[in-house]
Structure 1
Amino acid sequence: MEIVEDGCFGQGSSNSSSPDGLQQSPGGLPRLWAAEPQGGVADPANGANTRHVSPQRVCRSVNDILRKHGVIPEKPQDPEPLIQEALVEAERKAYENRLEDKDLDELDALEDEEDEDFLEQYRQKRFAELSTLQQTSIHNQVYPLQKVDYAREVTEASNKCFVLVHLSSSGANVESQRLTELWRQLAAKFGDIKFCEIRGNMCIEGYPERNTPTILVYRNGEIMKQLITLREMKGPRTTVEDLEKMLLELGAVKESDVRLKKRSDSSEDERPSKLKSSRPTVEDDDDDWD
């Protein structure tokens, strides 16, 4: 089929050919009109019987030639196969890691459902994790700080583990009192993390009372996070779980940490008892920080 010129790409009767064997207009672009052996529509430019090529087909032809000669970039790869491949891979990993959050008791309960060798691998992994925790849990208390000891007890100590500092209030700041209690709970639970406390104005001269409590998180000699007051959490109603979420985000603890699993279970156990009565008790009043 002969490619002939259409007025859309300029006039003239040049029959120059491209390296692809296609006739081109003087501008170097493929022509829009192709001569038909019989019938067709008369081309007003040269009187030949022709048919009109669809604009979509022309665009594809033009783009293919331009891409071949490096004028325009290659067509982007269809993302659908990559998406499907990623989904399959995600499902495979989810299946392989289905026991990742199970503790030793839960693994024992799955003996009839899972392959014994597969279960044994996870048991050994849990034993190794517990052994590591026992070896690294050397703190388990809140360390009161003095300004002269700050560099050694905080900055230098953070080269070995995460160090969290509570700049506390010098007065009756409810949020600071709440954080002092939470600090004790976290220190007892996460002995591989060092929890410290010092009054804000003793650590930094003139430190504003309104900025207490302040949380400073150190690792490898640097401040990783600074949290001024507990407004970003739940204020005086901030819980251990809220602070554990922060530890997760910082990488101080892992999602698979068995200590987090125990926390989740105990929270579920306590929830029904709190719903038994809508009337506050003396114990309830102790936790009311409003």
Structure 2
Amino acid sequence: MDMPVNVPVDNPEADTEWNDILRKHGIIPEKPPSPTPIIEEAILEAQRRAHENRLEDKDLDELDALEDEEDEGFLEQYRKKRMAEISTLQKASVYNQVYPLQKTDYAKEVTEASADAFVLVNLTSSTGGNTESRVLSEIWRQLAPKYGEIKFCEIRGDMCIEGYPDRNTPTILVYKDGEIRRQYVTLRELKGVRTKVEDLEKVLVDLGAIKEGDLRLRKQDDSDDDRNRAPEKEEDDDDDWD
């Protein structure tokens, strides 16, 4: 009776002549294909896509500045795209201010209006001593003209809801399609008194009220970078007086 032969194999994955003989006779399995070509292909594809989309975050001024570096037809394609985006925003930009509310108009100005747009209501403090409330009111006034397709409203909390405690202000109520989609009671879920415009912009992106790639968001980031950049050291002119 033939007895099975125990063939020694140090490393079945190794590229050796002995392993090739064993694979040929089915003693060890074929070596799986190397993942390297697949990885290299994926990297090349990612680079190709990045190159094709290299102008996605450029506004019209930035596109004009690239006239000597990019193909004119390619630039014109993106100019048309930006113009279409600007036109769409301009048509949708119908609010552009903070709307003070009265309780009697709440259903019309908020609930019904949310069928056409996101409506954000700021329930403010009834006193002047609530710092968070003052912070949010100022942010509201910066966001409203910047994102005119969103309706920003404001009403005192105790005028909107009888007996609404001042300690719960400011309260943000987000309406869409007649329903409250989200609410923030005070700014503790954000950054408290340190809450800034960009923090609310992140909320708007999360809600779907604005797109993550909206150029208006990048402009805000650029402005912040300019403000945070350390001023250049002025040259010492004392030598002129030596």
TM-score, normalization by structure 2: 0.75
| Structure 1 position 133 matched with structure 2 position 94 | no
Structure 1: 5+ residue stretches without partners: 1-34, 37-48, 55-77, 277-290
Shift of 1:106: 0.8
Deviation per CA, 1:98-130: give whole Å up to 9, x if none.
Answer: 111101111111122222111111101111111
Secondary structure at the aligned position of 1:93 is classed as: helix
What are the residue-to-residue correspondences of 1:1-290 with 2, within 5 Å? Answer: 35-36=1-2, 49-51=3-5, 84=39, 89-171=45-127, 172-272=129-229
Partner Cα separation in structure 2 for residue 142 and residue 125 of structure 1: 30
Are the structure 2 counterparts of residues 87 and 155 from structure 1 closer, same or farther at C-alpha, using a change threshold of 3 Å? farther
Partner Cα separation in structure 2 for residue 223 and residue 247 of structure 1: 14
Deviation per CA, 1:228-273: give whole Å up to 9, x if none.
Answer: 1111222111111111121122221223323223222222222247
Shift of 1:191: 1.1
Amino acid corresponding to residue 114 of structure 2 in structure 1: S
Amino acid corresponding to residue 216 of structure 2 in structure 1: R
Secondary structure at the aligned position of 1:252 is classed as: coil
Amino acid corresponding to residue 178 of structure 1 in structure 2: V
Q: In structure 2, what is the equivalent of residue 23 of structure 1?
A: none
Partner Cα separation in structure 2 for residue 158 and residue 96 of structure 1: 38
Q: In structure 2, what is the equivalent of residue 75 of structure 1?
A: none
Q: In structure 2, what is the equivalent of residue 8 of structure 1?
A: none
Q: Alignment length, in residue pairs?
A: 205
Structure 1 moving runs of 4+ over 6 Å = 273-276
Identity %: 66
Q: In structure 2, what is the equivalent of residue 21 of structure 1?
A: none
Partner Cα separation in structure 1 for residue 224 and residue 65 of structure 2: 22
Partner Cα separation in structure 2 for residue 121 and residue 153 of structure 1: 40
Deviation per CA, 1:22-75: give whole Å up to 9, x if none.
Answer: xxxxxxxxxxxxx52xxxxxxxxxxxx454699xxxxxxxxxxxxxxxxxxxxx
Amino acid corresponding to residue 255 of structure 1 in structure 2: E
Are the structure 2 counterparts of residues 199 and 86 from structure 1 closer, same or farther at C-alpha, using a change threshold of 3 Å? farther
RMSD: 2.6
Secondary structure at the aligned position of 2:182 is classed as: strand
Are the structure 2 counterparts of residues 90 and 246 from structure 1 closer, same or farther at C-alpha, using a change threshold of 3 Å? farther
* Structure number with larger C-alpha Rg: 1
Amino acid corresponding to residue 129 of structure 1 in structure 2: E
Deviation per CA, 1:198-240: give whole Å up to 9, x if none.
Answer: 1112222232222211111112222222111111222111111
Are the structure 2 counterparts of residues 87 and 153 from structure 1 closer, same or farther at C-alpha, using a change threshold of 3 Å? farther
Secondary structure at the aligned position of 2:201 is classed as: helix
Amino acid corresponding to residue 263 of structure 1 in structure 2: Q
Q: In structure 1, what is the equivalent of residue 17 of structure 2?
A: none
Amino acid corresponding to residue 187 of structure 2 in structure 1: L
Deviation per CA, 1:159-218: give whole Å up to 9, x if none.
Answer: 111111101111221101110111011112111110001111222223222221111111
Partner Cα separation in structure 2 for residue 134 and residue 246 of structure 1: 22
Are the structure 2 counterparts of residues 51 and 273 from structure 1 closer, same or farther at C-alpha, using a change threshold of 3 Å? closer
Shift of 1:93: 3.0
TM-score, normalization by structure 1: 0.63
Amino acid corresponding to residue 211 of structure 1 in structure 2: N
